[in-house]
Amino acid sequence: MVATSSGCLLRPNPNSSARLRLVFFPHAGGGVSAFAGWHKTLPPDVEVGYVQLAGRDGRRRERPASDFRALIDELADTLSWNVGIPVAFFGLSMGGLVSFELAREFRRRALPLPVHLFICAHRAPQLRVLNAGERPLHLLPDDEFIGELERRYGATPDFSQNRELVELLLPLLRADLAVCESYVYRTEKPLACSISAFGGADDRRVRTQHLEPWHIHTTGTFDLREFPGGHFFARNDPLPLLQVLNRELDRLLGLATC
């Protein structure tokens, strides 16, 4: 099948017989490549969609978002779902926060909610505060920015010794972090969809005590799992995560047939 793209949603393998759609949201500075090949490992009844944020992938010429609220409004305005099948969201790091707030915005607009949120490597939103003495990352000079990024999160997979590549990535990464750092958490009632929170056992920034509080945001089931690795465990060694993801998708497919 030929990949199709509609606005900010890329569907690499459109599947008219799918019974569930899984939509992936990338980490800060990332794009579709963050989930390269993942769709090939998922159940055949699951259609995959990748959110393409401005400034990357098929939207390279567009200016990246500069404000979290504006980003959520754009996604809610432009993403359209086939309401004939359930939808689940998978958010990686920044994508976890974006997918959560998008689900909340869908509820405000009386749109169909996702049946499940997979939140990977992001602390619960009510915990999004800077540690004592920390400055907002996006305001730091380049060398400090890179050093502080690695201190907080470990080595970034998209960075290399190629200075030209780093210089290309920095503006996009800085813009995404500015979006994240403009986020303001507001208390709302829990979502009806179930939630899975995934983290790396050696993540310097997102530890078990930061993942467990996600449970207050659902009236459904909540599952917390840790995997070997640091903040970028899902990119460095995705197989263990994909095995768990497949089992959960099979469960959701079973519920869809009830």
Cα(94)–Cα(64) distance, rounded to whole angstroms?
Answer: 14
For residue 10, which of 40, 62, 47, 64 has the smallest C-alpha distance?
47
Contacts of 5 (CB under 8 A, 6+ apart): 11, 52, 58
Phi-psi label, residue 57: left if phi above 0, alpha if psi -120 to 50, beta otherwise: left
- Write the DSSP string, 166-209: HHHHHHHHHHHHHHHHT------PPBSSEEEEEEETT-SS--HH
Greatest alpha-carbon span in the chain = 55
What is the token pair recorded at 148? 């502080």
Examine the residue annotation and report whether 93 is marked as an active-site residue of this protein.
Answer: yes
Q: 119 has which bridge partners? A: 91, 197
What is the token pair recorded at 97? 């926060």
Amino acid making up residue 66: S
Catalytic member of 93, 99, 194, 196: 93
Q: 50 has which bridge partners? A: 10, 24
Using CA atoms, how far residue 165 sits from 171, 172, 193, in Å, is: 11, 12, 39
Catalytic residues: 93
